[in-house]
Structure 1
Amino acid sequence: MPPPLRPERLRGRVFRGADAVRLGLLTPAALRSSAWRRLYRGVYADAALPDDVGVRVRGALLLMPPAAVLSGRTAAWLHGAVELADTAAPVDVSVPTGVRFGPVAGLRVRQVALPSTDVVEVRTRRCTSATRTALDLARDEPLAEAVVALDVLLARDVVTRAELQHALAAPPSSRGIRRARRAVELADPRAESPQESRLRVLLALAGLTPVPQYTVRDAEGGFVARVDLAFPDQRLAVEYDGAWHGAPQQLARDRRRLNRLTAAGWRVVFVTAADLRDPEALVARVVAALRS
């Protein structure tokens, strides 16, 4: 079988299939070959390109009307918080009220008010501003996931807490403003993983206020360990225990670390992904440890 046709003009490109056919570069049958990857209806990419957010954004731009902008987690990705977007999720697009667009499989299209002050250009891509992006996530996503996103945006200096608080000085009737305020209150740039953020939110909603990324020291002031979440007065640490901790070398390091914490008078509650799926039992375990 001969190799699929790959015209030089289309190599490394994202393009409309109809344009390639109209220019005589490909036939409809050739578009279905392994040389090309379909991104959206009528939009293709060179299959040699990575299947990543950047390529999917390039494809989305070929479909979006001029007034549309990238928004949500896709805008966060553009602003530098790359961990907030992935290829498994749709590309987020916002269009001004009154502009008709969509639905399009692979895009999440929202029709919203888009004042010019909320629109910026990043790497030649029009998207919502950093502050608008953060507030959209805080308004639209479940509380724990909104805090995960805000933790990352604050840690990456994409937006500051002062900017968010200034933007939140809006009438209480504004869409999702109460939820956004709660998410901003709970956000903390010290978090080092999404699961740590989710764990902190879960405890906060139960009325507990652990200190993130707390440095434990011994009686002489020497470094013992840095723990995910801490209740210093009770000398209790709450640690999220990911799968990577099961590696043999890591297990040995973890045991030495736990021994140092125990010698310094600290106790540790370890939390797994399964524990997060049973929040009532997890909170009860932490409360019992605090009381003991």
Structure 2
Amino acid sequence: MRTSRPAVRPAALEWRVFRGSAAVAAGLLTVHQLRARGWTRLRHDVYADARLPVDHLLFCRATLARMPPGSVVLAGPSAAEALGVPAAAGADDPVHLILRGHRRVGNQAGTRLHRVRLDPVDVGSVRLAGGDDVVPATGPARTAWDSAVWLPLPDAVALVDGLLFQRLVSTAELRAVAGRLGDRPGGRRAAHTLALADGNAASRAESLLRIRLYLAGLPMAVARPPMFAVRPPLAWPEFRVALWCTPDPGAEAVMINNAWLVLRTSPRREFSEVVREVRAALVARGWRTRRKQDVEESALSSNMH
């Protein structure tokens, strides 16, 4: 019976992302060895130790390996992922980069290049998880602003919620960046999105549900407000209605005993069914549907949760 040989990895390439042509030129590998199971091809001429997890940060490292040094900055969801926001970007999502100065860089597969102005205050550096690379990236506030301009509303709000929840940025800093960049393209859209952020949202799923309910015409829910000794994932305190995504019978009983209307949902339920149930509960507690214009105007206000 034949057994597969363990991969032979030169010490200089262990746990690394590298240019294949450079490794071959240095005599570390042959072209044939590059095709072995020990390596993962990520981009044209860019490879990685196959033991590294294939996630968005690995593709960030691969993309930067093909860029001229100092030519780009990680931005938007890619910067958020690098900063430590869970699920800000996945392995299949494009790597977002902002071009620095007047550099000329060609577009690459799997990459989204943005040619927008960067102020010095908006650029910092971050160490990418899974390696020892320290790379330029937009700071948390600018990351939130760019994501608010580039991404669909639910995804953008979920990302900004994550930055707030991780205490990487404050609502005051979000207001400041929205004011400073308000006259740039996308400024009004960004201000709208940042105003909807809620730093108490504990997961991307909760953030997406909150915004989807809002876009369905319901009033904006509050994420995990402290009610008595419990914190429901979503609540409408004015109407004493709460929505639990994961059952917590003890906490729910406390709320019910204090005259709250408690609803439950799960990923298996049809979203339209959830909307109908929440709408009926809010109406029963005195809510009246507002005009769409009123909803949009309130969302564009300067108040942030």
| TM-score, normalising length: structure 2 | 0.79
How much has 1:96 moved relative to structure 2? 3.4
Choose 107-116 or 29-38, whichever is displaced more: 107-116
Query: Aligned equivalents of 2:5 and 2:268: distance in 1?
Result: 51
Q: Secondary structure at the match of 1:39?
A: strand
5+ residue gaps, structure 1? 218-222, 246-253
Count residues in correspondence. 273
> Whose strand fraction is larger, Structure 1's or Structure 2's?
1
2:204 maps to: 194
**Among residues 101, 105, 121, which one is paired with 1:101 in the alignment?**
105
Q: 1:167 aligns with which of 157, 166, 177?
A: 177
Change (3 A) 1:257 1:102: same
Give unpaired runs (5+ residues) of structure 2. Answer: 128-133, 285-305
Q: Secondary structure at the match of 2:115?
A: strand
- Structure-2 residue corresponding to 1:151: 161
1:265 aligns with 2:259: yes
Distance of aligned partners of 1:276 and 1:198 in 2 relative to their CA distance in 1, 3 Å threshold: farther
Given that residues 40 and 104 in structure 1 are in contact (C-alpha distance below 8 angstroms), is that contact kept between their aligned partners in structure 2?
no
The percentage of aligned residue pairs carrying the same residue is: 36
Gap change, CA 1:122 and 1:200, over 3 Å in 2? same
Q: 2:9 aligned to 6, 11, 20, which one?
A: 6
Cα offset, 1:153, TM superposition: 0.7
Partner of 2:37: 34
Question: Which amino acid letter does the alignment assign opposite residue 42 of structure 1?
Answer: D
The CA deviation at 1:197 is 1.5
Query: Aligned residue for 1:212?
Result: 223
* CA 1:59–1:202: 2 relative to 1, 3 Å: closer
Change (3 A) 1:3 1:184: closer
**Letter of the structure 1 residue corresponding to residue 14 of structure 2:** R
Q: Is the 8 A contact 1:99 1:111 kept in 2?
A: no
Between the aligned partners of 1:209 and 1:54, the Cα distance in structure 2 is 33
Corresponding position of 1:288: 280
Deviations 1:18-63 (A, max 9, x none): 0111122211111101111111110111112332444333322211
TM-score, scaled relative to structure 1: 0.82
Gap change, CA 1:236 and 1:60, over 3 Å in 2: same
Pairing 1:109-148 to 2, within 5 Å after superposition: 109-123=113-127, 124-148=134-158
Counterpart of 2:156, as a letter, is A
Q: Which has the higher contact order (CA 8 A, sep 6+)?
A: 2
- 1:220 aligned partner: none
Q: What's the CA shift for 1:138?
A: 0.9
Segment drifting more, 16-25 vs 267-276: 267-276
Matched residue SS, 1:168: helix
Question: Would you say 1:91 and 2:95 are equivalent positions?
Answer: yes
